[in-house]
Structure 1
Amino acid sequence: MSSTSPSAHAGPSASASPLHRVSPSDIAVGVIIGRTSEFFDFFVFAIASVIVFPQRIFSFTDPLTGTLLSFALLALAFVVRPLGSALFMAIDRRHGRVSKLTAALFLMGTATVAMGLIPSHEDVGYWAVVILAVLRIGQGLALGGAWDGMPSLLALTAPKSRRGIYAMVPQLGAPIGLIVASLLFAYLAANLSAEDFLGWGWRYPFFVAFSVNVVALFARLRIVATDEFQELFESRELQPTRLRITLAEDGPTVLLGIFVPLASFAMFHMVTVYPLSWIFLYTNETLVSFLVIEAVAALAGIAAILLSGFLADRIGRQRLLLVGALLIGGFAILAPLLLSAGKTGEMVYMIAGFFILGLSFGQSSGAVGSLFGVRNRYTGSAIVSDLAWMFGAGFAPLTALLLSAWLGLPAAGLYLLSGAVCSTIAVLLAGRMEFKGDA
């Protein structure tokens, strides 16, 4: 163990702190706060990629091309996220988890608030695209660095009979972040003229995101920096191992792990970002109306995530993930046409999609963590999540919109269908392994 591990910064009292003072519920609070802030940042950018950036940053081209270019920038953060994990894990090893988390969230907040200040293409030309791309890279690096290990710690400290319930806790941050972001944009769009909204109103969610990051930073540091948590991280060996060591010892597991949550992560964008782009570009549905539909559907996602915890503890996580992958495959084939069936079709698409997503997404992170033994769980879970998000979610809205524009709305589900096939195979293969974290 390096002398610069977190315990070196915790002080003498760390070794004397009783472990029972930290309960799974304490960890759950920190996890929900952290994930909600990260997903709120994500959805603010994603919504702006559809309703703002094509008109302000990519105004030199047509709306469809502008949206596709915005989605390319959306994917950029997922591409650099693994680099962020590697960079900030080096900071973790040298200076401790508190320094790492502070630096990552400071970078995230700075990049996010700067997006709210970015000039339009009419003001600075193509420099607007360059600036936005640089800031998006900053967000991606920070997102990789924001991994604090608390979901893995939560899984290890939860009672064995309730691991499914505790595994779904981190996933609640996604629909909560979406609800807040969607309703905030809906409120601004409903109460401002189109000119005022595009001129300055759209900037407020980015400033709010900065405030949320500050609150989340102090809330997470209040937990992570305690002596009790430092000792728990060490006693469970949740320390960042070097990437080459993790790959040498668990390379096949990393490769398999990427595909286990792939369908869930692809589905994530097929019910959040992609439908918003299609509705905005090709229907007469008002922006406010659909954002409200999205927020309501996210409540169904919360209910399904909660349900996934109980189901995983009763029928098993592997069986639930397999059912989820098959449902996602069916959704990919049958659901896209609902987006052209009016408001009723949109509601069915969104609510059914979020419910299916919640059942699978609710256990995806827990499934990844359970593939690794304690030694490589911290690094392995982070890298697998980064790569699964990149291949599963990063390119999903870009690919789906491109396919539907070229080949028609039914083709939108082809990318999602390929992810469902990959996840089905990966879950079956993972079932033959000894789940080290669940042993």
Structure 2
Amino acid sequence: MPDPSQLSPTASERRRVAAASFIGTTIEWYDYFIYGSAAALVFAPQFFPTADPLTGTLAAFATFAVGFIARPIGGVVMGHFGDRVGRKSMLVWSMMLMGAATVAIGVLPNYATIGIAAPILLVVLRFIQGLGVGGEWGGAVLMAVEFAPRNRRALYGAFPQMGLPAGIIAANLVFLFVSATVAPEAFASWGWRVPFLLSAVLIFAGLVLRLKIGESPAFVSAKAERNLSRSPIVEVISRHRKALVLACAASIAAPALGYLVLVYMLSYGVQVLKLPRETMLWLIVLGSAVWLIMIAVAAVAADRIGRKPVFLAGALLVTAWAFPFFLLVDTASPALILLAFAVGTAGIAGMAGPQATLVAALFPAEVRYSGASLAYQVGSILGGALAPIIATALYAATGTSTLIAAYMAVLGAVSFLALLFLRESATDGLDAPSRPRTRPVTEGPRPAIDVSETR
């Protein structure tokens, strides 16, 4: 039997896990998003030299998307071992993969130095980054949610979610500092490498934090009862298919709008609106600050009134705001662009606040890492990976932002409708007792779907 002390964490242990989830996830997303900023600003001439700037930008954004392709692979692999070996060890591995790849990008020679090998190596390193972040989200979310008290699960699950805008803020502030302290020519030549090399210090700090926390109580219990799945991902697909599909669809809109605002808008503002790079970076920082605060607000609301209504409100706001968003952005007025970003990121936060607990509650403990990781990462590919590329291509084809706004609205509607089909049950899947792996094969999948908090 498991040690009761491991199944009843103290308040200080819960705070330590929440802090480690937030700080660790912030560092991982910092690494991930400095790539996005560099792809929008310097990667085209550094690694994809071409006479056509549009072609170079599309190629740079394509390498950004490679990270998304790797994310579900990382989610499946680390989800498997996270359900078999433990959550904590996979969080350590995810951070090590991300840190090694990020620092390597910082020292990677460009096309002018080593030719075609430069973009090939860049793609490989971006793929490794994707593997790392693919395993990160599920592990960080589950550690926070499985340590949380029942009536504050959405808030605890929001800590790793808040790491995403915090990482974006950190990445852009570092880019702003470097671009302000070196000449434009120096920034294009070597200055852009500084944020990548800084990751070495941040990763070390993050690893120290993660090594100090204990294993998840839910995993300790499942292991003690010998209730670990031999093939978690197979069980997720065969026994929890409906929950997986709907969770994937529900996870589309938030990353789509997020990456349009935080990656594509940097390129759009500089190249199309002709705004200074520093202006766009500051607008993204301020929009991300609103996002971070509103995630916490949405999580508190989800713990009080339920996860589903809060998530639906966020998806509806994203859908309704798509056209006003671009109408304001296209004025090229920094104040109106900030308003567009603030409302848009508030909509994302409405979904992100309850999302972690909502997705985790869909799967039983023995397959939860695999199920939650796969659902989130597939949704991110369908939404976030292609968003900058599609937006760039749509603008190039039409010369207007109308179709980009329509694209955003459709994705928001998809997430809204997907969540409507997720049923609310009378029990919380996070509290469902483990069943022995010897249950009859004729038994249906045990109920684990719950998108509301019942007390």
* TM-score over 0.5 for the pair: yes
Percent identity of paired positions between Structure 1 and Structure 2: 30
- Provide the residue aligned with 1:414 in structure 2: 406
Which residue of 2 is the match for residue 436 of structure 1? 429
Q: Which amino acid aligns with 1:423?
A: S
8 Å Cα contact 2:109-2:118 kept in structure 1:
yes
2:132 to 113, 130, 142: 142
Aligned to 2:294: 304
Residue 361 of structure 1: CA displacement?
Answer: 1.7
Is the Cα contact below 8 Å between 1:260 and 1:368 reproduced in 2?
Answer: no
Q: 1:85 aligns with which of 49, 64, 75?
A: 75
Residue 183 in 1 paired to residue 173 in 2? yes
TM-superposed deviation, 1:18: 4.9
Contact 2:135 2:373 in 1 (8 A): no
**Partner AA of 1:325 in structure 2:** A
1:247 aligns with 2:230: no
Whole-angstrom distance in 2 between the partners of 1:183 and 1:385:
27
Output the amino acid matched with 2:50. Answer: F
1:88-127 to 2 correspondences below 5 Å:
88-92=78-82, 99-127=89-117
8 Å contact kept, 2:83–2:368 = no
- Paired amino acid for 2:403: A
Output the CA distance in 2 between the equivalents of 1:297 and 1:186.
15
State the distance in 2 between where 1:150 and 1:320 align. Answer: 22
Match of 2:29 in 1: 39
1:17 CA displacement: 4.6
Separation of aligned partners in 2, 1:130 and 1:60: 16
Could you tell me how far 1:97 is from its partner in structure 2?
5.0
Aligned positions of 1:122-133 closer than 5 A: 122-133=112-123
Relative distance call for 1:157 and 1:112 in structure 2 (3 A) is closer
The answer to whether the 8 Å contact 2:79/2:138 transfers is no
Amino acid at match of 2:349: G
Query: Deviation at 1:432?
Result: 5.1
2:20 pairs with 1:27? no
Greater Cα offset, 192-201 or 232-241 = 232-241
Contact 2:258 2:384 (8 Å CA) reproduced: yes
Residue equivalent to 1:195: 185
- Tell me: CA distance 1:30–1:232, structure 2 relative to 1, closer, same or farther (3 Å): farther
Is 1:270 paired with 2:256? no
How far 1:68 moved relative to its partner?
Answer: 1.2
Are residue 68 (structure 1) and residue 58 (structure 2) matched? yes
The aligned counterpart of 2:368 is: 377
Which position in structure 2 is the counterpart of 1:235? 221
> One-letter code of the match for 1:351?
A
Could you tell me how far apart the structure 1 residues matched to 2:423 and 2:263 are? 32
In 2, distance between residues paired with 1:104 and 1:170? Answer: 14
Deviation at 1:163, TM superposition (A): 2.7
Contact residue 46 and residue 74 of structure 1 kept, 8 A:
yes
- Please list the CA deviations of residues 262-286 of structure 1 after superposition, one character each: whole Å capped at 9, or x if unmatched: 1112121122111111012112211
Structure 1 residues 107, 302: closer, same or farther in 2, change over 3 A?
closer
Q: Name the structure 2 match of 1:256.
A: 246
1:346 aligns with 2:327: no
* Correspondence 1:313 to 2:303: yes
- Counterparts of 2:88 and 2:351, CA distance in 1: 32
Moved more, 310-319 or 193-202: 310-319
Structure 1 segments unaligned to the other structure (5+ residues): 1-6, 8-13
Please name the residue that 1:167 is paired with. Answer: 157
In 2, the alpha carbon distance for the partners of 1:217 and 1:239 equals 27
Letter in 1 for 2:429: K
Judge conservation of contact 1:88–1:100 (CA < 8 Å) in 2.
Answer: yes
Letter aligned with residue 320 of structure 1: V
Is 1:425 paired with 2:421? Answer: no
Name the SS for the 1:149 alignment partner: helix
- Verify the 8 A CA contact 2:21 2:143 in the aligned structure 1: no
Change (3 A) 1:314 1:89: closer
CA deviations on 1:47-74 (whole Å, 9 max, x unpaired) are: 0001010121112242222111111111
Shift of 1:244: 0.8
Q: Counterparts of 2:228 and 2:250 in 1: how far apart (Å)?
A: 23
Distance 1:177 1:375, change over 3 A: same
Residue by residue, what CA displacement relative to the aligned partner does 1:72-131 show, whole Å, maximum 9, x if unpaired?
111111112122223334555776555544433222211111111122222222221111
Distance change (3 Å), C-alpha of 1:400 and 1:239: farther
TM-score, structure 1 as length reference: 0.89
- 8 Å CA contact 1:153–1:233 kept in 2: the answer is no
Deviations 1:320-346 (A, max 9, x none): 111111110112222112222122222
Q: How has the CA–CA distance of structure 1 residues 364 and 210 changed in structure 2, closer, same or farther, with 3 Å as cutoff?
A: same
What is the DSSP-based 3-state SS (H/G/I as helix, E as strand, rest coil) of the residue aligned with 2:240?
helix
Q: Which moved more, 1:95-104 or 1:245-254?
A: 95-104
Between the aligned partners of 1:378 and 1:74, the Cα distance in structure 2 is 25
CA-atom RMSD in angstroms: 2.3
Alignment length, in residue pairs?
423
Partner Cα distance (1:91, 1:379) in 2: 9
Matching residue's letter, 1:383: L
The corresponding residue for 2:281 is 291
- Equivalent position amino acid for 1:187 in 2: F
Structure 2 counterparts to residues 365-404 of structure 1, below 5 A: 365-404=356-395
- Structure 1 position 302, deviation (Å): 1.7
Structure 2 runs not aligned, ≥5 long: 431-452
